[in-house]
Amino acid sequence: MELRHLRYFQMVAAERSFTRAAERLHIAQPPLSRQIRQLEEELGAELLVRGSRPLELTEAGRLLYEHAVQVLDRVDDIHWSLRALGGSRRTVYPIGLVGSILYGSLPRVLRRFRASRPDLDVRLIEMTTLEQLPALRDHRIAIGFGRLSFQEPGIVQRVLHDEPLVVAVSGDSPLAAGTGPVPLAALVGETLLVYPRKPRPSYADQVLALFRDRGLLPNAVVEAGELQTALGLVACGVGLCLVPDSASGSRGDLIYRPIAEPGITSPIIVSTRAGDDNEATTALLAMVTE
């Protein structure tokens, strides 16, 4: 399997048509069909339901499409990063972070850090806490900001802040009426939206544990890819979602209610390599602490 096979398949799957995919790829349709057939023969599975209009993906096709998108996006990221590195005279300083912490005070700190270090090419890379740990070990990032605690050899984690969680509901939800704190037990009757879908464990498991530790079981759980998707589903009336308080202003069409019970929080955690004496990391940690 070569990258071109994945690119060809991704285009056919996205367009649901060999003709339109061939036009976008600037190749003739017969060679494109042969490439997809070769891919199916190598994998030993039919990827497309031929004869359907528009083309439909088989179960194997849907699985491959999901992985192909991730692989090709990662290849594009690598290509961009290496090109940028080749054209930069500054030292690259990569920072891993989860998207949900960008609603709080960290962006202000990072702006200050960027301004104080013109010698560094500071790059922010969105990744889950679980993804940050191998990235730190492999020196793909210099420091990570996440929300989950792990016991990992060679990695040091420190809790910076325990951020309260609030429940986001649509305007027509019964929970939208009122302004006071909502008991956690009052949430179990509605569908709970959690994110991210993967990799796990993640913030989703952290939220589910808050219910489980209190002997509560949500009526139904729906997984979303990321925070904004979950909030969009809440706005559509699919259910409710627990989000960090700092994210409560990200959508004006939702209602945010505090939780009555104490301890309904999510930590902001900084992760570094044990024994790392990188001067830039020391400076950034000092700013974060301040």
The percent of residues above 70 in pLDDT, for the chain, comes to: 97
- Provide the mean pLDDT of the chain: 89
Q: What is the pLDDT of residue 89?
A: 67
Show Cβ contacts of residue 220 under 8 Å, excluding neighbours closer than 6 positions.
191, 192, 239
pTM of the model: 0.66
Segment among 56-60, 196-200, 263-267 with least mean pLDDT: 196-200
Q: pLDDT tens digits for 182-221?
A: 999 999 989 999 998 877 788 899 999 999 999 999 989 9
Q: Which amino acid is at 189?
A: G
Per DSSP, the three-state class of 52 is coil
pLDDT, average across residues 143-150:
92
- For strands 220-223 and 191-194, give the pairing: parallel
Residues 6+ apart with CB under 8 A from 174: none
Confidence (pLDDT) at 217: 92
In 10 A of CB 65, how many CB atoms? 18
- Other CB atoms within 10 A of residue 126 CB: 11
